[in-house]
Amino acid sequence: MDNRRESLPFLHLVPNLVTIIGLCAGLTAIRYSFDGRFAVATGLIVFAALIDGLDGLIARRLRATSQIGAELDSLSDFVCFGVAPAIVVFRFGMTQDPGLGWVFALVYAICCCLRLARFNVMRASPDAPGHFVGVPAPAGAGLALMPVFATFAGIVDLADVPLLVALWLGMIGVLMVSRIPTPSAKGLRVPRDKAVYVLVGAALMVGLILSRFWLLMFVLGLAYLAVVLWQAVRHRRF
């Protein structure tokens, strides 16, 4: 009888550790929002979104995908892109009307939860479409934070317009649970002869992140929202 204990290779734990780092970023964003440090809180949520795109890629590269990793990722997404943005936006622009503001914060968080539950069910289905249905949770968080982006970019100060911020948060929640087909980067392939353009674009993006971070986030949010609305009109879904 072999009494040797089976051990899990450390590399198989790396994707889960990356997911946990993202979860810590989302939880820390909530903490900083209570201190009124909204720039730090928002930046941490953006960081969590970047981490969310890495853990699955790392798991596939290391052939370390697992059911527990998928469930951990989903739970982390709810905290980072459902709970954290709702609290940050509530603390940022809706404390002047906390009753109404909190209702819309709850609506957004619940819509994110429903969207993730639907995604988990569809992911397990053999007939799953090759695109997202509704705005994905990380993108929804980015759209929800656009009032913060606009304010810090100096475009318009929305911190004192609680009704507008509340309605915006509710609208993003609706887009997350909608039936709009939204693009997925999973099957994206860059031709080798276009790789240089991708590198130039990436370098430009890094430069903008370092110099015009808030403006870049706002513009990217507007561009993505335009794509979503175009898909809704094109496919006549909502």
Angle at which helix 67-78 crosses helix 137-144, to 10 degrees, equals: 10
Predicted confidence at residue 238, as pLDDT, reads 60
pLDDT, tens only, 184-211: 655 455 555 555 555 666 667 667 676 7
Q: Which residue has the higher pLDDT, 96 or 124?
A: 96
Residue located via tokens 């053999």: 126
Domain covering 10-185+194-235, topology = Four Helix Bundle (Hemerythrin (Met), subunit A) (1.20.120)
Give dist(CA 33, CA 39) in Å, integer: 9
- Domain residue ranges in the chain: 10-185+194-235
Predicted confidence at residue 196, as pLDDT, reads 59
Q: Which residue has the higher pLDDT, 32 or 68?
A: 32
Predicted confidence at residue 109, as pLDDT, reads 97
Q: How does the average pLDDT of the chain come out, rounded?
A: 84
Partners of 21 in beta bridges: none
pLDDT, tens only, 45-104: 999 998 888 877 777 777 767 778 788 888 999 999 999 999 999 999 898 888 999 999
Whether the pLDDT of residue 7 is over 60: the answer is no
Give dist(CA 45, CA 52) in Å, integer: 10
Q: Which residue has the higher pLDDT, 77 or 13?
A: 77
| Secondary structure (H, E, C), 53-118 | HHHHHHHHHCCCCCHHHHHHHHHHHHHHHHHHHHHHHHHHHCCCCHHHHHHHHHHHHHHHHHHHHH
Predicted confidence at residue 232, as pLDDT, reads 86
Model's pTM, two decimal places? Answer: 0.86
